């Protein structure tokens, strides 16, 4: 790792105590997890919700860590945890350990010469990250964000994992408040900034979609002077984005006639255009991409759904900007694998489960419902609460309920307090459909079941006795809610039926 103890001390600030001869030593790693620190590494001890990092300093010193960054003095740690202050080597006492982490990562980023791709957006950040990283892997040795390391702790830790063998980095950045993206972008300092869309997410703090646009485009504050913005042309808010100086904007998306987008979307020139859908089913899709220079590439997108086609187009755009050939783009996109909880089809002896329970907002709910309805057989929706939607929470849940009713799904199950709004709207919509039927008042609703459960546990409690009624053999089932609902437990229960 190309970072010395002296450079770290300069970035971290605080009260510095460096042993003689340590200043020019290069460190092996910078971590906040004592279990993964290596000899010569830096351990940042921070107090957390579940534990206190200072508690593990003794074990870290036994692993021959070269530097401790902490918020408590050796004397305070000795009093609290019994570690003798005489055992300490080099250490720095700071007011905020996480701020020190961010400052160190920013300093390290300044030393990197590889291209860094930053990804944000309301929906699809993680799957887009996987497509971009997979595509670039056809030419580059890529470091990418792992798991949910997309916040003010995860982003600096990811940057600090870059090593000499890496030739590109793909960094996911998630926010929920104004100012957060300024912090994240100031660490990642992307050369290419990708924004997937501007949706109805985190409205509790951001107000409306204009607020979301303002918060997401903070990423451009730290975009490199010759940086590139890669934006989805089908999003009305993103189509308004412009950049100054030598920085340029590059759009991707469908031929609007193929996707049924509004005509105004066609006013934006796309660097990468999805010009045709050759085939689509639950195994993925085959599409034709029009690349810069009017080159056509037929590409297999190994995950299902129109949104995955869009993710592939984003990856192709980044690939073109970083010098990938048509064949490298094709092979890279085709190599992408799915992630648990994100639009992953799981087949059992009885059911086909669309596991999309990692997160949810109104746009992703509609997209996942559309995807499920492309499958054969009966269709079951198991939908839960969507969080952080602000003052319009009830209205936005009701909109999902209406969309579910209009989808034609046979069985629609809502779970959670907020989803009671979706349930009521769904019932009302189905009643309107039945009343407008030309046959009889019940014909439209015949065979369709709607239910509401207050909690996930309530649903799981009746599942065994009602499985045949709610989950007929051969059905395709969507399981989706915000991550805090922990619907992965429902997925596991369905797999066990």
| 415 and 351 together in one domain | yes
Closest CA to 288 of 338, 251, 321, 329: 329
| 353 and 395 together in one domain | yes
Q: Is residue 107 part of a domain?
A: no
End-of-domain residue from the set 308, 334, 360: 334
| Cα separation, 208 vs 56, whole angstroms | 43
> CATH no. for residue 397?
3.90.190.20
Closest CA to 221 of 185, 196, 250: 185
Element (H, E) at 419: helix 419-435
Q: Angle between the 5-12 and 97-111 helix axes, to the nearest 10 degrees?
A: 130
> CATH no. for residue 130?
3.40.1190.10
| 24 and 147 together in one domain | no
| Cα separation, 98 vs 151, whole angstroms | 12
Residue with structure tokens 């049924």? 260
Exposed e or buried b per residue across 81-98, where buried means at least 16 C-beta atoms within 10 angstroms of its C-beta: eebeeeebebbbbbeebb
- In DSSP terms, 116 is beta-bridged to 169
Q: Is residue 409 part of a domain?
A: yes
Q: Is residue 317 part of a domain?
A: yes
End-of-domain residue from the set 100, 127, 144: 100
| 177 and 219 together in one domain | yes
Q: Is residue 106 part of a domain?
A: no
> CATH no. for residue 63?
3.40.1390.10
**Angle at CA of residue 301, ends 299 and 305, nearest 5°:** 135
Number of domains present in the structure of the chain: 3
Closest CA to 359 of 344, 347, 342: 342
152 touches 185 (CB < 8 A): no
| 474 and 380 together in one domain | yes
pLDDT score, position 124: 84
| Cα separation, 123 vs 357, whole angstroms | 13
Q: Is residue 105 part of a domain?
A: no
DSSP state of 4: B
End-of-domain residue from the set 334, 364, 394: 334
| 240 and 382 together in one domain | no
| 131 and 234 together in one domain | yes
Q: Is residue 454 part of a domain?
A: yes
| 379 and 425 together in one domain | yes
Q: Is residue 458 part of a domain?
A: yes
Q: Is the dihedral of CA 333, 334, 336, 339 positive or negative?
A: positive
162 touches 171 (CB < 8 A): no
| 95 and 230 together in one domain | no
Q: How far apart are the first and last CA of the chain?
A: 49
pLDDT tens by residue, the chain, 497 residues: 889 999 999 999 999 999 888 899 999 999 999 999 999 999 999 988 888 999 999 999 999 999 999 999 999 999 999 888 888 999 999 999 999 999 999 999 999 999 999 999 988 898 899 999 999 999 999 999 998 889 999 999 999 999 999 999 999 999 989 999 999 999 999 999 999 999 877 788 888 899 999 999 999 999 999 999 999 999 999 999 999 999 999 999 998 777 665 555 567 889 999 999 999 888 889 999 999 987 899 999 998 888 899 999 999 999 999 999 999 999 999 998 866 556 788 889 999 999 988 788 898 899 899 989 988 889 999 999 999 888 889 999 999 999 999 999 999 999 999 999 999 999 999 988 777 654 443 434 445 889 999 999 999 999 989 998 999 999 999 999 998 999 999 999 999 88
Q: Is residue 108 part of a domain?
A: no
pLDDT score, position 436: 64
- Which tokens sit at 211? 């607020």
Residue with structure tokens 């198991």? 382
| 375 and 313 together in one domain | no
* Segments forming the whole domain that contains residue 395: 344-495
| Cα separation, 247 vs 224, whole angstroms | 8
Closest CA to 194 of 313, 78, 274, 301: 313
| 122 and 57 together in one domain | no
| 252 and 196 together in one domain | yes
């Amino acid at each position: 790792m190309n970072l010395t103890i002296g450079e770290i001390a300069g970035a971290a600030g605080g009260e510095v105590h460096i042993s003689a001869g340590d200043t020019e030593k290069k460190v092996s790693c910078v971590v906040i997890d004592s279990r993964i620190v290596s000899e010569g590494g830096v351990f940042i001890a921070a107090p957390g919700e579940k534990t206190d990092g200072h508690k593990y300093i003794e074990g870290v010193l036994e692993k021959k860590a070269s530097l401790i960054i902490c918020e408590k003095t050796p004397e305070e740690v000795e009093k609290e945890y019994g570690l003798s202050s005489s055992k300490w080597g080099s250490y720095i006492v700071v007011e905020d350990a996480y701020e020190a982490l961010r400052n160190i990562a920013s300093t390290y980023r300044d030393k990197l010469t590889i291209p860094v791709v930053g990804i944000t957006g309301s929906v699809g950040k993680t799957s887009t990250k996987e497509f971009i990283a997979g595509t670039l892997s056809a030419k580059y040795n890529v470091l990418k964000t792992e798991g949910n390391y997309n916040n003010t702790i995860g982003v600096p830790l990811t940057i600090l994992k870059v090593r000499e063998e890496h030739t590109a980095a793909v960094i996911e950045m998630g926010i929920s408040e104004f100012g957060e993206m300024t912090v994240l972008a100031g660490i990642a300092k992307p050369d290419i900034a990708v924004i997937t869309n501007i949706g109805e997410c985190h409205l509790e703090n951001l107000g409306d979609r204009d607020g979301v646009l303002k918060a997401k485009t903070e990423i451009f504050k730290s975009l490199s002077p010759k940086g590139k913005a890669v934006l989805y042309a089908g999003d009305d808010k993103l189509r308004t984005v412009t950049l100054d100086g030598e920085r340029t904007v590059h759009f991707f998306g469908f031929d609007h006639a193929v996707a049924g987008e509004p005509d105004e979307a066609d006013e934006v020139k796309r660097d990468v255009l999805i010009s045709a859908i050759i085939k689509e089913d639950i195994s993925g899709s085959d599409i034709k991409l029009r690349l810069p220079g009017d080159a056509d590439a037929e590409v297999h997108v190994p995950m299902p759904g129109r949104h995955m086609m869009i993710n592939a187009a984003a990856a192709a755009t980044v690939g073109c900007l970083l010098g990938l050939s048509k064949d490298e783009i094709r092979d890279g996109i085709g190599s992408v694998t799915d992630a648990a909880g994100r639009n992953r089809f799981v087949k059992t002896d009885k059911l086909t489960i669309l596991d999309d329970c990692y997160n949810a907002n109104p746009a992703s709910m509609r997209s996942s419902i559309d995807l499920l309805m492309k499958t054969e057989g009966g269709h079951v929706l198991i939908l839960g609460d969507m969080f952080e939607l602000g003052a319009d929470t009830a209205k936005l849940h009701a909109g999902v309920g209406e969309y579910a009713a209009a989808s034609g799904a046979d069985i629609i199950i809502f779970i959670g307090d907020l989803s009671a709004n979706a349930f009521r709207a769904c019932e009302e919509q189905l009643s309107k459909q039945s009343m407008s039927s030309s046959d009889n008042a019940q014909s439209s609703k015949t065979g369709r079941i709607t239910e509401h459960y207050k909690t996930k546990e309530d649903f799981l409690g009746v599942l065994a006795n009602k499985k045949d009624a709610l989950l007929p053999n051969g059905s395709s089932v969507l399981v989706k809610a915000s991550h805090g609902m922990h619907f992965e437990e429902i997925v596991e229960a369905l797999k066990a039926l």
